[in-house]
Amino acid sequence: MDIILFVSGLILCLIGITGSFVPVIPGPFISWLAILIINLTDAVEFNLNFVLITLSVAVAIGLIDYLIPIIGVKKLGGTKSGQVGTFVGLVLAIIMIGPFGILVGPFIGALIGEMASKKSFSDSLKPAFGSLVGVVAGSMIKFCLTLSYLFFYLNIFWTYKENFF
């Protein structure tokens, strides 16, 4: 049974890594589920502190991922309208065009939001670019975290490998 749980957890880690770039998949949380699963097997000594710390990091990164594009707009001179446009654009684009929406939605939303605050098209491009940089940065942070969780997962398995077989 522990081998089935191990393989299931490994699959969750891989789905989590994919979720770093596909917005409808909460990558860090799914990778964390793998950490939880391996800690719940009979082969591994349960480590509550590690499970709770990794959960806290996964939740924090999941929340921060939605804020980074908004911060990108603000840092490059965007207005409140551009920040709201970034968030609305992200949500609408994901709903309407799926995973590809994570790249174009915040950019278009920020651009429209900035132009709505009476900025010219060229003045609106810089904050809109900030939203795009924020999306890419958020994806890279999630990717690094999910890779770390895969490393932790494999390290735990390697430490207790004799208990699995």
pLDDT, mean of residues 42-67: 94
The string of pLDDT tens digits covering residues 46-58 is: 999 999 999 999 9
**Separation of alpha carbons 7 and 111, rounded Å:** 45
Q: Is the pLDDT of residue 143 over 90?
A: yes
First vs last Cα of the chain: how many Å apart? Answer: 11
pLDDT at 31: 97
**Separation of alpha carbons 147 and 87, rounded Å:** 27
User: How many structural domains comprise the chain?
Assistant: 1
Helix orientation angle between 101-116 and 80-97, rounded to the nearest 10 degrees = 140
| pLDDT tier, 69 (very low <50, low <70, confident <90, very high otherwise) | confident
Range of the domain at 15: 2-164
pLDDT at 118: 82
pLDDT averaged over the chain? 90
Q: Taking a C-beta distance cutoff of 8 angstroms, is the pair 18, 26 a contact? A: no
CB burial string 34-50: b at 16+ within 10 A, e below: bbebbbebebbeeeeee
**CA atoms in the 13 A half-sphere facing the CB of 63:** 5
CB burial string 109-129: b at 16+ within 10 A, e below: bbbbbbbebebeeeebbbbbb
**Separation of alpha carbons 74 and 114, rounded Å:** 11
The string of pLDDT tens digits covering residues 99-115 is: 777 778 889 999 999 99
